[in-house]
Structure formats: structure tokens, C-alpha cells
Structure 1
Amino acid sequence: MNILSIQSHVAYGHVGNSSAVFPLQRLGVEVWPIHTVQFSNHTGYGAWRGEVFDAAVIGELIEGIAERGRLDACDGVLSGYMGSAGIGEAILQAVGRVRAANPGADYCCDPVMGDVGRGLFVRPGIPDFMRDAAVPAADLVTPNQFELELLTGHAIASRADALAACERLHAMGPKVVLVTSLLTDETPDDAIDLMASGPDGRFLLRTPRLDVSLNGAGDAIAALFFLHWKRTGSAAAAVQAAGSSIYGLLRRTFEAGSRELLLVEAQEEFVRPSTLFEPHRL
């Protein structure tokens, strides 16, 4: 399987492509990464160095792959943080070229915009672009709870609210939805939920809650969910595999007291999660 991943990149640590590429490779996927930025480290440190690439670079790199005659071998496109609407438009153009070459290719959009507590952290115009262009073009979307509310305009307090918001998101175009970091009035204080919704049904996966918030975890789970859905065609199987792996990764990172995800040290969690959690049909 070949996945084109268009995201940010850091030299030190793990966010964007630096978080998504290795787990996919560890599971036997050929990843074609295109970096939208290259920074020394993620912006959560408050200071960083590096460069934001021009949107035209994405089209140039896609053209280079096309010249090799390989776009028809691309099985899917994964996107994450978009620094500008121009970059977003270039990503959708890339998706269009891949789909033209291989109609069986899917697009997974991780609509990175913000989070509960932090609020919105993207430039003006990105939320509108996500809602009006990127999400309708996607086959899969992987918002967190904050992003799901923002995209659908539907406040989430209960599980029923989350299901209703998922239905609104499906109505916008995507056939598969993964909601991460879901906390409702039915989630115990010591747990956190994932909700997956696809043609095979609606599913909830609950894992223990760790007192940790790490940059890059959302990028990793989006990549893993996309891969497992591509392989199985099942939202239930994909959320079980991806959620169990990410819990194992976060637990190992938490126990080590690391500020950065221990992707390499905990890599067996991607192949054989130490704890396999059961999804429940809703």
C-alpha cells in the first residue's frame, strides 16, 4: 500500500509527518511524505526555527511523482494541519490528481483547527475552508470533539449529541468519521472515548484516561485509523486497532515522563498493542 501524506514536519520530536509516517512504515506501508513546513520542533515549545513552504511546492512535487508514472499506485492521501487556505487548495488539487489516476484512492482529512481548552489555533479562513471544501472532499475525517463541534455547529454534551454531530458530518460528504478525545456526560472521569462511524455502524471505544496531553498524538491516530480502515473496510476494526495502539504509545510515553511521543521506543504497540480494547456498537 502507498499513502501520500501531506503535513507539517519537525526535525526534533513528533508532530505532523514526523508522527504519522513512521507508524505507517512500521506496519508495512510505503509512505510518500510531502512537508508543508519544516521546523526545528513543534510550536508547543513557544520558540522554533524553520520555514513554511509555499503552496506551489505541493503541486511541483505531485507533478514530479506524476512524471515517474506513479500516481496510479497511490492508494490514499492523508492530510493534517494546513497553514493556509492556499495550502489546503493545493492539497485538494493533489487529491484530485490522485483520484483521476486511481479512482480507488481515498482521502483522509484530519481537520486540525483547535482543541478543548486551547481553543482555535489556526489562521483565519482555515475553519471555513475545512467546512466548505476539505471535509466535503474527504472520504474519512478524524476531528477531535472541539473540531467536530466547530464543523457542524452542534454542541456536544452527551453521547447522543456526538452521534447527531457525526450524522451532520456524514451529510457533508465523508463516509467515515473518527471522533477523538471525546468526553461526554457518560464518560467516566478516569476514561476517554473514541467514536467511529461508518457504513458498518457506529462504535464507541473507551480507554483509561492518562494525565498527559502530547502534541502529535492526533496525527498518529489519524494515520493509523486510515490505514486500518483501508485494510479492513471496517470502522469498528479500525478504531479498535488505532485506539489500542495509541493508548499503548501514550502509556509508554507517560510512564517515561517524556514530552515527546516515544514512537520508536514504543513501536511494537503499532504491531501488537499491549492492551486490545473492545469497541461497542451504539
Structure 2
Amino acid sequence: MKILSMQSWVAFGHVGNAAAIFPLQRLGAEVLAIHTVQFSNHTGYGDWTGQVFTGDHLHDLARGLAARGALSLDAALSGYLGDAGVGRAILDIVAQARAASPAMLYCCDPVMGDTGRGLFVHPDIPPLLLDHAAPAADIMTPNQFELEQMTGISCHSRAELLRAISSLQDRMRRDGPRLVLVTSVRTGETADDTVELVAASPEASFLLKTPRLPLNANGAGDLIAALFLFHVASGDRSGAALRHALECAGSATWAVLARTASAGSAELCLVAAQDEIVSPTSRYDARSL
């Protein structure tokens, strides 16, 4: 499987491409990477060094990949967007790759913000994601805050969450499977000691519960988006395959987070937990909603 991942890169720690590339490789994928930034560390530390790349930089790299015939892909993945120019370049590259490989899956992780932090992207990013990225996407992986921002639907119950997912699916690529994975779900039905994930196609939806861990690790959303994309692309896109992808991605991400919490680490312990990415020792089962 060949996957193009277009995300941020950090020299220290595991967010963006640094949270996605190694797990995908560990699962056996051939990963092509285009970095949208190169920083010393993620911005949550409060200070960092490095550079933000431009849309022209991304286009230039894509031209080089096309010259090698390397844009014939099984899947493409995008995450945090520093500015609208980078977002437009990513969508241009997705369109170019899809022309070479019409069956390619595009997964857009619509990184915008989170509960408690609010929006942390430039104001032109949310409309770009909703009006341009969603119509090109086969898979979207918002957290609950991002889903609510994109749809205008407050998800106080699972019924409202499913209505918001359906609203987002209506904006997604018509010829695609229109799969949505919602991470960090907390509704009125969620127990305090539990984290919920919901994955849905237009035909079916599934709920996965894992124990809540005593940490809030940067990069967990980037990790689960990559894992979910891999397992969807490896399946037959049926309801059973969607459920399997949710179980594999959710179980592996929980195992990495559990190892991280046990180590008391501020960064994901991806290398130490690499076997868990392939074969999680704790398996969590999803149920139909």
C-alpha cells in the first residue's frame, strides 16, 4: 500500500507526520511524506524554532514526485493546515493523485481546535475545510469539537452526534464512501471513566469505548487518523470492514496512550509501543449504533 501523508513535521516528539509515518510503515505501508512545516517541537510547548512551508513549496515537491511517477497512490492523508495557501496546494495534489489513481482514498483530518482550547487555526481554515476539503474527502476524522464547528450541531446526545455526522457526510465527495471517524466523543451518555469513538458510513455506525487514561497527549488524533485510514484502505469498505477499522485503530491508539501514560512521557511512546500498533494486546470491540 502506498500512502502520501501531508502534515507538519517536528524534529522532537510525535505529532503530524512524526505521529503518522512510522506507525504506517510499521503496518507495512510505503509512505511518501510532504511536510507542511518543519519545527523543533510542537507548538504546545510555547516556544519552538523552524519554518512554515508555502503552497508553492508543496507544489514544487509534487512536481518532483509526479516526474518519478510516484503520485499513483492507494491513499492520501492531510492534517493541520498552517494557512489557506497550503490547504489549497494539498487539495491540488489530491486532485492530481486522484487523476492518476481514481480509486485512491483521501482522508482529511480537519484539525481546527478542541474543547477547552477553542479554535487554534487561522480564521480562513474552517471555511476552507468545510467548503473545499470536505467535498474532496472520502474519510474525515474530526474530534467532537471540530464536528460541531463544521456542522453547527451541538452534540449533547448520541442522536445529535449521528445527525451531525450525517450533515458532514452530505458535504463529502459523492463518489466516495463518505466515512467519518469522530474521536474523543463525550455526550450525556458517556461515562466519566470512558472515552468513546464513533465511526460511520451513510449505511452504518459503530461505537467503541475505551478506558479514560490520565493524560492528554498531543499527536493522538494524528495517530488514530493514520491508523484508521490504513485499516479502511486495507478492507473492502463494507460495514464489517468499517467496524474492523475502528476496532484496530482505536485499540492500537489506546495501547500507545497506555504505554505513554505508564512511562510518564509528555510525548507519544511510538517506538516503545510499536508492537501494539500492529497487534494490540488489549482489544476493544465496537457495537452498532
Please give the range of the TM-score, normalised by the shorter of the 2 chains.
over 0.9
| Residue 275 (structure 2) aligns with | 268
What is the CA–CA distance in structure 1 between the aligned matches of 2:156 and 2:263, rounded to whole Å?
A: 33
Instruction: Tell me the amino acid that sits aligned with residue 142 of structure 1.
Output: T
| Residue 25 (structure 1) aligns with | 25
CA contact (8 A) 2:169 2:202 kept: no
| Residue 62 (structure 2) aligns with | 62
| Residue 186 (structure 1) aligns with | 189
Instruction: State whether structure 2 residue 139 is matched by structure 1 residue 132.
Output: no
Q: CA deviation at 1:57?
A: 1.0
Give RMSD over aligned pairs.
Answer: 0.8
Instruction: State whether structure 2 residue 71 is matched by structure 1 residue 71.
Output: yes
Instruction: State whether structure 2 residue 258 is matched by structure 1 residue 277.
Output: no
What is the CA–CA distance in structure 2 between the aligned matches of 1:153 and 1:10, rounded to whole Å?
A: 33
Percent identity over the alignment is 55
CA contact (8 A) 1:200 1:235 kept: no
Unmatched runs of 5 consecutive residues or more in structure 2: none
Note the alpha carbon deviations across 1:17-46, whole angstroms, 9 max, x for none: 000000000000000000000000000000
Note the alpha carbon deviations across 1:73-129, whole angstroms, 9 max, x for none: x11110000000110000000000000001011110000000001110001100111
Q: CA deviation at 1:214?
A: 0.8
- Between stretches 193-202 and 11-20, larger displacement belongs to 193-202
| Residue 247 (structure 2) aligns with | 240
What is the CA–CA distance in structure 1 between the aligned matches of 2:35 and 2:23, rounded to whole Å?
A: 17
What is the CA–CA distance in structure 2 between the aligned matches of 1:179 and 1:63, rounded to whole Å?
A: 34
| Residue 258 (structure 2) aligns with | 251
Instruction: State whether structure 2 residue 215 is matched by structure 1 residue 208.
Output: no
What is the CA–CA distance in structure 1 between the aligned matches of 2:98 and 2:128, rounded to whole Å?
A: 20
Instruction: State whether structure 2 residue 9 is matched by structure 1 residue 9.
Output: yes
Q: What is the number of equivalent residue pairs in this alignment?
A: 281
| Runs of 4+ residues deviating >6 angstroms | none
**What SS is found at the alignment partner of 1:36?**
strand
What is the CA–CA distance in structure 2 between the aligned matches of 1:199 and 1:136, rounded to whole Å?
A: 15
Q: Relative to structure 1, is the Cα distance of residues 237 and 200 closer, same or farther in structure 2, using a 3 angstrom cutoff? A: farther
Q: CA deviation at 1:71?
A: 1.7
Please show how residues 129-208 of structure 1 align to structure 2 within 5 Å: 129-174=128-173, 175-199=178-202, 201-208=204-211
CA contact (8 A) 1:192 1:208 kept: yes
Unmatched runs of 5 consecutive residues or more in structure 1: none
Q: CA deviation at 1:70?
A: 2.4
| Residue 86 (structure 1) aligns with | 85
What is the CA–CA distance in structure 2 between the aligned matches of 1:173 and 1:151, rounded to whole Å?
A: 12
Instruction: Tell me the amino acid that sits aligned with residue 145 of structure 2.
Output: F
CA contact (8 A) 2:13 2:42 kept: yes
What is the CA–CA distance in structure 2 between the aligned matches of 1:114 and 1:127, rounded to whole Å?
A: 10
Instruction: Tell me the amino acid that sits aligned with residue 92 of structure 2.
Output: Q
Q: CA deviation at 1:69?
A: 1.8
| Residue 112 (structure 1) aligns with | 111
Instruction: Tell me the amino acid that sits aligned with residue 232 of structure 2.
Output: W
Q: CA deviation at 1:200?
A: 5.4
Q: CA deviation at 1:199?
A: 5.0
CA contact (8 A) 1:3 1:76 kept: yes
